[in-house]
Structure 1
Amino acid sequence: MTTRYRVEYALKTHRRDQFIEWIKGLLAVPFVLYSQPTGVFETRNHTVQKMAEEAHRRYVEIMKDVEDMIDDHSEDFASSTLLLSLEHQNVGLDGQSKLKLLVPSIGIFYTRLPLADAFKYQDQKRFISSRRFVPPSFNDVRLILNTAQIMGVTATGRLDLATFDGDVTLYDDGQSLEPANPIIKNIIYLMSQNTKIGIVTAAGYTEAEKYYQRLHGLLEAIKESEILTLEQKQNFIVMGTIKLTLKIP
């Protein structure tokens, strides 16, 4: 049965992320040039295999170029913030990076995004380069960005904070985080590594009991865990839509 959330989501016009749409447009070019949408029979030349290899090479090049533009855009990875600003001003850009000019809505990047490596990883799992009829989608690009974010954060050391969207991510719309949910053991592991966990839910409850009903599987697992110290068990908060923050006592 289709949930109310999915029905309303399908009926509404959603604003797409301009940065993701821009990357998707870049990746559409190799797909058009190298895909084989018509019937191609494998020959001694391995036509489809060559197509996938060439498409993969071009996809990686594009991701590496975007990665370099992000590095240039980000003050965190400039050799000097002042020098970077002056460099852009000298060419009449008033401090704007090339990425900012191409994607005006772009914001600040707080971590480095190894997009080329992230694409290679996801390409092995999702066979993006081998596709002949479906170009890289919005969700493909978003997943690559998420993967790059994880790679970028974990490469610099221990993860201090991890946040999760509750509804339609950790659990289905209107459902609860049950004890059998496989994500629970992963969250417990993160907490055992002194990573603070935050869960954001669209539920606008004002009573703690209702949040417990929604997250009881995880809460009981934290309470009964033998690998978490008392201090680690307190590194868990829940945030709702009414600006209410709950912390596990």
Structure 2
Amino acid sequence: MSFSSRRRNYLLTPHRRDGLVEWMKQMLTHSFVLDCLEDTGADTFAHFEVLIEEHRIVQDDGSGRPSRLKHLVPTVGTFHTPLPLRQAYELYNQKHRLSKRKHIQISFNELRHILNLAQILAMRKVEVEIPSIVAENWLHGSIRSSSNAAITNSSGDSTANMTSDESETQSHHDTGDQTCLSNGQFNGPRMITFDGDQTLYSDGSNFDSNPRLASYLCQLLKHGVIVAIVTAAGYEYNVEKYEFRLSGLLNYFKAKKLTAEECERFMLFGGECNYLFHLGSDFHLHPVREYGRGGWLTSTKFLADSPANWNEDDITSLLDAAEAAITESIDDMQIRGRVIRKKRAVGLIPNFGRVITREALDETVLRCQAQLQMMNKGTGPQIPFCAFNGGRDVWVDVGNKRVAVEILGSYLGVDATETLHIGDQFLNTGNDYAARDICPCIWITSPDETTYILKTILRFAGANYVVDEDEKEEAKLILSGNIKPVSSTVDFGEVERRVQAVQEMDVFTGELIVK
């Protein structure tokens, strides 16, 4: 979804769902109640398209006048691209038959899926007539290669609103199908950034159990797409700690023998936007130079919110205020947790064996946001920040994912309209929320949904890829570090040790407990 709020900090009602999605749901309720969604559903989504495009024109003309959409949805923000909502609805409805239902109206999650699909369609550089063979493959869960490659694709969605991921089929036909590729270029986003926890791997876990997702990430790199993980995990420049979290994925890249050029397209931003790494041809993460010629801080100093312009006194003041708010929350609500402070973050983590309730976590986040907003006579901190509920903990980070994506785009020369951010925390207490300011976003709820989204991106971009049953089984072993491919000369002993070690790593502190 490409809409956003232009506010730097995000003080909204706790757990407030997206205002635009809720308004769309209300608009569609009328048609559902009258049992005419079959006839009016597509037209309603076409009306949404018109309102969005009007809003985009108004926000670009500099007049300051509100659009019709702004009147209807006061909280609506920026749309970075047009959204082909009618096309997305028709495809989704053809697959899931929403308009055939008589008792259950369209849900918030289904609208989220339709918006996600519309954003994927909008990222294509070349328009392809719908329905096309690509659309048919998406609908029926199979894709045919336009080359001699044998292709196997998972057909389903991982969510309750989508079909099972188990009905996977294989095609070995050279059909000469029309694809979305143009002049050999990937017909999709040039850069995709990902949240870490609950987007690429389960919260607090590491990347070691999703062979399909690893394969799709690998295919994106092979097709020239920049893949960047933007994570709140902040271990400064301690490379081995990030590698522990990504050990299975790095293992997979080794087994697939990515070229040096393909490796260079894999980036990681730690601590929201504070520590930048790239993947080297040795399949290890390497810190990107900060200063001097080619340094990422030097190169992005012209950006107002770049970390290159942050003052250490402002950082200290922000973290002091946040720590005070967290300590107050612990005392007032008798939370069984403790404060942990890092160089660019301060957090609330549970005591060993304890769980902090979601309500207490959200209350703490909103207290931190309110306290920070009061700084400097109510103008807020002098530098960007992010206060969020991490699911089991609360963190206040210096910087946010809007800054990270903006820096990556500037440093790598990728326009915001060619960038896609995928994350799970788009509530006002989440840390993906800020990314909506700078680029189009996809809202997912689990790594399984991320897998489905990447499969959809690859399909509509016309990418050819291979995932057969034998490879899936091998990939599972590769991710777990339990196989040494015959075709590879890479020693996986160290990787296997890291996989075991990450199970003993405190993800809150980064402390390694190796047996």
TM-score of the superposition, structure 1-length normalised? 0.73
Aligned residues: 205
Aligned mates of 2:15, 2:191 — CA distance in 1: 29
C-alpha RMSD of matched pairs (Å):
2.4
Query: Partner residue of 2:97?
Result: 127
Query: Partner residue of 2:246?
Result: 215
Query: Partner residue of 2:202?
Result: 172
Query: Partner residue of 1:60?
Result: 42
* Structure 2 contact 230–272 (Cα < 8 Å) conserved: no
Aligned mates of 1:107, 1:166 — CA distance in 2: 25
Query: Partner residue of 1:195?
Result: 225
Aligned mates of 1:203, 1:130 — CA distance in 2: 44
Query: Partner residue of 2:256?
Result: 225
1:44-85 deviation digits (Å, cap 9, x = unpaired) = xxxxxxxxxx4233221111100111111113xx8xx55xx6
Amino acid at match of 1:217: G
Amino acid at match of 1:149: Q
Aligned mates of 2:16, 2:271 — CA distance in 1: 20
The answer to whether 1:143 aligns with 2:143 is no
Shift of 1:131: 2.3
* Structure 1 contact 191–197 (Cα < 8 Å) conserved: yes
1:130-173 deviation digits (Å, cap 9, x = unpaired) = 22332211111111111100000014444211122222222222
Q: 1:71 aligns with which of 44, 49, 53?
A: 53
Higher strand share: 2
Higher helix share: 1
Amino acid at match of 2:75: S
Shift of 1:246: 2.6
Aligned mates of 2:103, 2:269 — CA distance in 1: 41
* Structure 1 contact 233–248 (Cα < 8 Å) conserved: yes
SS of equivalent residue, structure 1 residue 239? strand
Query: Partner residue of 1:16?
Result: 17
Q: 1:104 aligns with which of 62, 71, 74?
A: 74
SS of equivalent residue, structure 2 residue 194? strand
Query: Partner residue of 1:153?
Result: 123
Summarize the Cα distance change of 1:221–1:139 in structure 2 as closer, same or farther, 3 Å threshold. Answer: same
Summarize the Cα distance change of 1:103–1:212 in structure 2 as closer, same or farther, 3 Å threshold. Answer: same
Structure 1 unaligned residues grouped into runs of 5+: 1-11, 35-53
Aligned mates of 2:221, 2:188 — CA distance in 1: 12
Aligned mates of 1:56, 1:163 — CA distance in 2: 36
TM-score of the superposition, structure 2-length normalised? 0.37
Query: Partner residue of 1:37?
Result: none
Shift of 1:177: 1.5
Summarize the Cα distance change of 1:102–1:180 in structure 2 as closer, same or farther, 3 Å threshold. Answer: closer
Summarize the Cα distance change of 1:16–1:129 in structure 2 as closer, same or farther, 3 Å threshold. Answer: same
Moved more, 65-74 or 194-203: 194-203
Alignment of 1:5-44 (within 5 A): 13-34=14-35
Shift of 1:230: 1.2
Query: Partner residue of 1:247?
Result: 278
* Structure 1 contact 72–97 (Cα < 8 Å) conserved: yes
Amino acid at match of 1:59: G
Aligned mates of 1:211, 1:166 — CA distance in 2: 11
Shift of 1:194: 0.9
Query: Partner residue of 2:460?
Result: none
Structure 2 unaligned residues grouped into runs of 5+: 1-12, 127-186, 281-515
Aligned mates of 1:126, 1:56 — CA distance in 2: 13
Amino acid at match of 1:183: L
* Structure 1 contact 180–217 (Cα < 8 Å) conserved: no
SS of equivalent residue, structure 1 residue 143? helix
Q: Give percent identity, aligned residues only.
A: 36
Which structure has more relative contact order (CA 8 Å, sep 6+)? It is 2
